[in-house]
Amino acid sequence: MSSPSPISASARQRRLEDGTHFIELSALPTRIRIGETDLEALTYDGTLPGPVITLNEGEAVRLAFHNALHAPTNLHLHGLQIPPQADDPHRVVAPGQTVTHAFELLPESAGTYWYHPHAHGRVTRQQWSGLAGALIVRGAPDRLPELAAASEHVLVLQDLSVEQGLPAPHAPMEWMSGKEGQHLLVNGQIHPVLEAATGLVRLRLINASVARYYHLAVPGHPLHLIGQDGSFLEAPQPVNTLLLSPGERADLLLQVPAAARLELHDLPYARSAHATPRAAATPLATLEVRGPQRPAHLPARLRPLRRLADADARPDRVVVFGASMDPPRFLVNGQSYDRHRIDLEVRQGSTEVWELRNPTRMDHPFHLHVFPFQVLTRNGVPEPFLAWRDVINLRAGETVRIALDFSRFSGDVMLHCHIAEHEDRGMMANVRVRPPEVTL
């Protein structure tokens, strides 16, 4: 099968004289082809998904973002621990305008991130129309000999339905359930063939869909999780399947010492009590592994992580995701989003434990900007391994406790459900991180 390269284009980037990594990115309407269908999508730099931005931990970055759409938008650098002022979704970019995001990456920030629009009320339509791209931060663990020798693919997972040459419009019910597309896209293609060399194969997966969950497996082949969101794990963790809710990322290793043809599948998963899951697995991509027999040893250790709190730590506050009917609205702690209201206040320098509750009958992925967290327990069960997360799925009826690190910055950030429809319909809250108290 011949197809264009399923590897996304690289971003327009160069090194400035002072060493700063400079990147340019534009959002624009673009005519693209999905399978046999032509449509008018929205893209970054003319490709769906947008180009892969590759950065290095610790470096200074300037990113010039230009809006060539016919509507306001903005750019959110999802998961990056940078000052809130350098990634403020309240700031909207008018058509024709360019804004610059300037920041420094933290020393130990290697991981898998992504970028997408975040202008409140417009997110769903713009992201559904194609606006999303991968952002990779490389660091010391990437230079471990096992990882340096691995074949690596970044897989951006999106879905789309097309109607009359445009991304299909939402039906009223889809503003409640979250819209899922008929086409499952891996790097903008329906069921691509990805080539890799024998040995270790590394897959960085990004769920860039507005609402679809991916329940991933490679039948007959164990997976080893080495990273989640913007974090390495301390050591590889064997998993058979992996649930990836909207916004989540996973960094996986496959041991493939001899030539093989493997299938990446999306298994059935019911994310709502109202929905009937598909009965069968859907093939997402083929992994064609070629070459002579080669060892495929896993790295023993990846990166030490600091534990923020014990699993039995008491919560400092409670965040409840909810919904109401007539009119249908999505809520955080009983309230619909108001950009002028500060919903939670914390102090810079503090570590907090939050209890996240989802009493609704559907899953909601919780996301907090800028400040990472560690999962302590899910329904009282301690999380089996450490990772810094920025998205955690709350299953219907589930209670999850997390520990959050507010040491780095002060400023205003948002927490929200990462189902774009729910976020646009009010399931979002403003968090103010106050500067530390000055002692005279």
As measured in angstroms, the least distance from the Cβ of 419 to Cu ion is 4
Out of 53, 217, 402, 419, the only residue in the binding site for Cu ion (CB under 5 A) is 419
Report residue 326 as tokens.
Answer: 């007539």
HSE at residue 259, side-chain half, CA atoms within 13 A, is 3
Q: Which is nearer to Cu ion, 92 or 427 (CB)?
A: 427
Interaction of residue 416 with Cu ion, rule CB under 5 A: no
As measured in angstroms, the least distance from the Cβ of 377 to Cu ion is 21
Interaction of residue 191 with Cu ion, rule CB under 5 A: no
Out of 244, 417, 429, 431, the only residue in the binding site for Cu ion (CB under 5 A) is 417
Report residue 189 as tokens.
Answer: 């293609």
As measured in angstroms, the least distance from the Cβ of 179 to Cu ion is 13
State yes or no: cis peptide before 327, omega within 30 of 0: yes
As measured in angstroms, the least distance from the Cβ of 370 to Cu ion is 20
As measured in angstroms, the least distance from the Cβ of 213 to Cu ion is 11
Would strands 399-405 and 260-266 be described as parallel, antiparallel, or unpaired? unpaired
Going 361 to 322 to 159 to 82, the CA torsion angle's sign is: negative
Report residue 14 as tokens.
Answer: 């160069």
Q: Which is nearer to Cu ion, 78 or 364 (CB)?
A: 364
Give me the phi and psi of 424, to 5 degrees please: -65, -30
As measured in angstroms, the least distance from the Cβ of 347 to Cu ion is 28
Q: Which is nearer to Cu ion, 108 or 423 (CB)?
A: 423
As measured in angstroms, the least distance from the Cβ of 428 to Cu ion is 10
As measured in angstroms, the least distance from the Cβ of 41 to Cu ion is 24
Interaction of residue 284 with Cu ion, rule CB under 5 A: no
> Cβ(183)–Cβ(34) under 8 Å?
yes
Q: Which is nearer to Cu ion, 87 or 363 (CB)?
A: 363
Q: Which is nearer to Cu ion, 254 or 319 (CB)?
A: 319
Q: What is the DSSP letter of 226?
A: E
Please give the C-alpha separations between residue 381 and each of 92, 377, 399, in angstroms, as whole numbers: 41, 5, 10
Residues 323-357 as b or e (16 or more Cβ within 10 Å = b) = beeeeebbbbeeebbeeeeebbebebeebbbbbbb
Contacting range for Cu ion; rule: CB under 5 A; set: 11-19, 126-134, 288-296, 411-419: 411-419
Q: How many residues bind Cu ion (CB under 5 A)?
A: 4
Interaction of residue 66 with Cu ion, rule CB under 5 A: no
Interaction of residue 212 with Cu ion, rule CB under 5 A: no
Q: How far apart are CA 304 and CA 382, in angstroms?
A: 19
Give me the phi and psi of 127, to 5 degrees please: -70, -40
Residues 67-86 as b or e (16 or more Cβ within 10 Å = b) = bbbebbbbbbbbbbbbebeb
Interaction of residue 122 with Cu ion, rule CB under 5 A: no
Which parts of 346-375 interact with Cu ion (CB under 5 A)? 364
Which parts of 220-259 interact with Cu ion (CB under 5 A)? none
Contacts 24+ apart (CB under 8 A), 434-440: 434/345, 434/346, 434/347, 434/348, 434/410, 435/348, 435/410, 436/347, 436/348, 436/349, 436/410, 437/347
Out of 212, 224, 369, 422, the only residue in the binding site for Cu ion (CB under 5 A) is 422
Q: How far apart are CA 238 and CA 223, in angstroms?
A: 6
x-marked contacts with Cu ion along 306-345 as a string, rule CB under 5 A: ----------------------------------------
Interaction of residue 179 with Cu ion, rule CB under 5 A: no
Contacting range for Cu ion; rule: CB under 5 A; set: 135-143, 229-237, 263-271, 413-421: 413-421
Q: Which residues bind Cu ion (CB under 5 A)?
A: 364, 417, 419, 422
